Structure 1
Amino acid sequence: MKALILNLADQTERMALQRAQMAHFALDFERIEAVTPATLSRPTGDPYWMRWQRPMRDTEKAVLESHQRAWQFVVETGEPHLILEDDALLAEGAAELLASVEKSAAIDHLTLEARGRKKLLGAQLDELPVRRLYQDRTGAAAYVLWPSGAEKLLAHTAHAGALADAAICSAYSLRSYQADPALAIQIDRCEIYGVTAPFVVTSTIDVERKPDRLAGLAWHQRAGFRLRRFAAQLRMGLRQLANAHRASRIAVPVASNWPEFRSPDFR
């Protein structure tokens, strides 16, 4: 299975890390030029960006469009791909899992990642180390996407923007699964999970200050954001109730064996 790596042109150290990581796991890859606020396909003031639960930062808009580029690539190639943000680390066993699920017709989306939050998980699939994922809340750094799932995500985000991970987590038409144990984390979680970080990272999203919550908006815009926030929370609650008989909220453990990459190894 080929990996698609989302990478900004100026993040050369991150890309060098990913090249080393792909070589370690013997994975073919293609670099996807990540979108920046300056290269957004829609203007930052387009109504598309005003239809989420709060005002979005321009950097958040760019992240969504970067993922949409990868989704479109998956649709066009007709093959499942591992989609990685350039600060994602993979555990030993990741390549073997990718090989075991590549031909599966039962999955649209498989997340490899954990970020500490509990997830609503159901049964294991065909003795594979993956479980049905009914509700996630965060994380878009490392996931496998099949063409069927890519089509669903492109349709889901066709008329309204969202944070990339929120868009994925709220696409309930996806047949989503979770690697168990998790086989990917972002570098900013290394200390929490006891994994050696290759270098210190600064979020490319957080370089832009989050907009003051609803400040300066017209009353109907404020009302729209609040209603969409309420509707999203209600959908999640109903989702949990509907699947309570077959799923449980679980903190997914992470794998115990992680390759170490240090700057001299990949510079």
Structure 2
Amino acid sequence: MISAVTINLAVAEERMQFQAAQLGYLGLHYERISAIEAEDAPGLRPAAYWDTWERPLKDAEKACFLSHRAAWEKVVAGGKPLLILEDDAVLSDRVPHLLEKLSSATGIDLVTLETRGRKKFVAKAGHPDILDLPIRRLYQDRSGAAAYVLWPSGARKLLRRTEDKAGLADAVICAAYDLATYQADPACALQIDRCTLYGIREPVATTSAIDAGEAPTASTGSGPTDTLAFKARRIRAQLRLGFHQLLKSPLAEHREIAVDPGDFSHLDRLTRLIA
């Protein structure tokens, strides 16, 4: 069975309490990864490193990115796949069975379990080698890094991509077209802030540290040259995305990933336990 790691800030005790109850209920072994604090993140890399994304990054975004990167390093060091969770991830009852099946799967770099109510570019048909798994090839995601299974092969690719370039954790994953990425279908995870969208009760109150953080600022300056560099990267990324979708269009379709609220029925019970 694939184990889990949960990225959690020390101050977010209620979220970790929920995760411990949820993962225990699902029978999943897990470890906690201490998330990097926003105030510490900028100093952990040279200033110029942080200005390699498509726009200036908030300190909370930098911390989130480095926390995920620490999880990727853990995958490589352990030599086996791990379920990487942010501490506001809500998992479905389907997860243990899926993880058991994935533990013997080959040729996969990453499987994302979640959806956020946005259409994804997924294969029209299931993969011929893994038709017995409820997953399909994911050619273009839009956002979200709250719940994904990562193999050492995928972790090494992500670490290489981010050795000299920073970014938003989920956007870096979405833009890694060299990954053999798959989508759980139906979705097996949501972030807490998406629960009400699918008629699911939020198990704990949640506020995004990133949304509540300071406005992003460039680390090495904010003059015309820096602004043009950010814009040029955004344009290149959009052109690359468009070409990738055009290339995969014969195989894929844009659609939302289904969510079955009945798969999350255990949340009411967990909410009462941690109340």
Same fold (TM over 0.5): yes
The reply on whether 1:167 has 2:175 as its aligned counterpart is no
Q: What is the match of residue 84 of structure 2?
A: 83
Distance 2:271 2:255 in 1: 35
Q: What is the match of residue 260 of structure 1?
A: 267
Q: What is the match of residue 230 of structure 1?
A: 235
**Which residues of 2 match residues 41-56 of structure 1 at below 5 A?**
42-43=43-44, 46-56=47-57
Any conservation in 2 of the 1:44–1:58 contact (CA below 8 Å)? Answer: no
Once the two structures are TM-superposed, the CA of residue 54 in structure 1 deviates from its matched residue by 0.5
Once the two structures are TM-superposed, the CA of residue 37 in structure 1 deviates from its matched residue by 2.1
- Residues 41 and 146 (structure 1 numbering): CA distance in 2 closer, same or farther, change over 3 Å? farther
Q: What is the match of residue 186 of structure 1?
A: 191
Q: Secondary structure at the match of 2:173?
A: helix
**Which residues of 2 match residues 127-138 of structure 1 at below 5 A?**
127=131, 128-138=133-143
Distance 1:158 1:84 in 2: 22
Distance 2:237 2:148 in 1: 23
Q: What is the match of residue 124 of structure 1?
A: 126
Q: TM-score, normalised by structure 2?
A: 0.92
Distance 2:212 2:272 in 1: 27
Q: What is the match of residue 102 of structure 1?
A: 103
Q: Secondary structure at the match of 1:139?
A: coil
- Residues 263 and 92 (structure 1 numbering): CA distance in 2 closer, same or farther, change over 3 Å? closer
Give RMSD over aligned pairs.
1.7
Q: What is the match of residue 245 of structure 1?
A: 250
Letter in 1 for 2:13: T
Distance 1:45 1:217 in 2: 17
Q: What is the match of residue 31 of structure 1?
A: 32
Q: Identity percentage over the alignment?
A: 45
Any conservation in 2 of the 1:74–1:145 contact (CA below 8 Å)? Answer: yes
Q: What is the match of residue 41 of structure 2?
A: 40
Once the two structures are TM-superposed, the CA of residue 42 in structure 1 deviates from its matched residue by 4.0
Letter in 2 for 1:13: E
The reply on whether 1:142 has 2:147 as its aligned counterpart is yes
CA distances 1:101-132 after superposition (whole Å, capped 9, x unpaired)? 11211110000000011111013132111010
Task: Give unpaired runs (5+ residues) of structure 1.
Answer: none
Distance 1:45 1:207 in 2: 25
Letter in 2 for 1:17: F
Task: Give unpaired runs (5+ residues) of structure 2.
Answer: none
Once the two structures are TM-superposed, the CA of residue 90 in structure 1 deviates from its matched residue by 0.5
Q: Secondary structure at the match of 1:144?
A: strand
Say which is worse superposed, 33-42 or 137-146, in terms of deviation: 33-42
In the comparison of the two structures, how many residue pairs are matched?
A: 266
Any conservation in 1 of the 2:51–2:218 contact (CA below 8 Å)? Answer: no
Q: Secondary structure at the match of 2:73?
A: helix
Letter in 2 for 1:109: L
Distance 1:120 1:42 in 2: 37
